[in-house]
Structures are given as structure tokens and as C-alpha cells.
């Protein structure tokens, strides 16, 4: 149930942001937004002792990798032309670029902050043991 909820929030949230910024979205991005939020929730649970900035950096790397994989399929193989970053410097096959990786990092900051708050709020009164409390080296 919680994974379905995470997926739906990510799918709706990302679609909303993309419609605000671009004026439209594509169903493949709705699915990717849902999957990415599920992974971000896992990162937050798996590495609760990490600083939010470190979690956001890992989250941005995961989102960028997912964007590359999905982009190769939907844009290059299927030819749907969902997005095109060829005009941006240092792009890789027009699917990812440093500017959008930076945007994903910025987007991850409030997400991880919110997840941390929600986890503390939901675990009040429970005996919870984090899976890892170390900080990244």
C-alpha cells in the first residue's frame, strides 16, 4: 500500500511540476516520476544518518541515470521525442545534461527534507532502528 501511495504521489507531483514549467507532460514521464519518488523514499529510509545534501546528491544521480535509460528507450528507440537536451551544453545523446542534473538536485532537497520530517513524525512513540546511520565518506 505504501509503495502505491509513493508511486501515485511521485507520478502526480512530477506531472504537475512539468505541466507548470513546460505546459504539458507525457505519460512516460508520469511513470518515471512515480518510480523515482519510490527510489528517493528508499534512499531516505536506507541512509537516515546522511545529510540531506548527500541524499539529494545521490537522488539526483539516480534520477539522471533513470532519465538517461528512459530517454534512450522513448526518444531514441521508440522515436517519441518526449524531450531533447541537444541544445544544452555537455549533454549526453540529448537525454541528460548537467543543468537538469542540478535541477534534480534542487528538487531532491525539499523532498528529502519532507521525507525526514514525515519519518520522524510517523515514528514518534515507536522503537525504530535505522538501517544505516553513518555518513558518506
Residue 133 inside a domain? The answer is: no
Which pLDDT score, from 0 to 100, does residue 137 have? Answer: 53
Residue 118 inside a domain? The answer is: yes
CB 83 within 8 A of CB 110: no
Which pLDDT score, from 0 to 100, does residue 122 have? Answer: 76
Residue 135 inside a domain? The answer is: no
Q: At residue 134, does pLDDT exceed 80?
A: no
Residue 127 inside a domain? The answer is: no
Residue 137 inside a domain? The answer is: no
Predicted model pTM: 0.86
Task: Report the distance separating Cα 77 and Cα 75, nearest Å.
Answer: 6
Task: Report the distance separating Cα 82 and Cα 43, nearest Å.
Answer: 27
Which pLDDT score, from 0 to 100, does residue 27 have? Answer: 98
Residue 134 inside a domain? The answer is: no
User: What number is the average pLDDT over the span 53-60?
Assistant: 99
DSSP class of residue 135?
P
Question: Count of domains in the chain?
Answer: 1
Residue 132 inside a domain? The answer is: no
What domain range includes position 12?
Answer: 2-122
φ/ψ of residue 124, rounded to 5: -60, 125
C-alpha cell at 126: 515507536
Which pLDDT score, from 0 to 100, does residue 108 have? Answer: 99
Task: Report the distance separating Cα 79 and Cα 49, nearest Å.
Answer: 42
User: What number is the average pLDDT over the span 47-54?
Assistant: 97
Dihedral of alpha carbons 18, 14, 92, 72, sign: negative
Task: Report the distance separating Cα 33 and Cα 28, nearest Å.
Answer: 9
pLDDT per residue as tens digits for the range 70-120: 999 999 999 999 999 999 999 999 999 999 999 999 999 999 999 999 888
pLDDT per residue as tens digits for the range 5-43: 999 999 999 999 999 999 999 999 999 999 999 999 999
Q: At residue 128, does pLDDT exceed 70?
A: no
Q: At residue 130, does pLDDT exceed 90?
A: no
Amino acid at each position: 500500500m505504501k509503495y502505491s501511495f509513493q508511486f501515485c504521489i511521485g507520478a502526480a507531483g512530477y506531472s504537475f511540476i512539468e505541466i507548470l514549467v513546460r505546459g504539458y507532460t507525457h505519460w512516460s514521464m508520469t511513470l518515471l516520476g512515480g518510480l523515482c519518488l519510490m527510489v528517493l523514499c528508499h534512499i531516505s529510509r536506507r541512509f537516515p544518518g546522511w545529510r540531506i545534501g548527500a541524499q539529494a546528491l545521490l537522488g539526483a544521480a539516480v534520477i539522471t541515470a533513470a532519465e538517461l535509460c528512459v530517454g534512450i528507450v522513448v526518444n531514441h528507440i521508440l522515436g517519441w521525442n518526449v524531450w531533447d537536451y541537444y541544445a544544452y551544453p555537455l549533454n549526453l545523446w540529448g537525454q541528460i545534461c548537467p543543468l537538469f542534473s542540478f535541477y534534480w538536485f534542487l528538487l531532491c532537497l525539499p523532498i528529502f527534507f519532507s521525507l525526514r520530517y514525515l519519518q520522524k513524525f510517523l515514528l514518534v512513540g515507536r522503537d525504530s532502528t535505522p538501517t544505516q546511520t553513518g555518513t558518506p565518506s
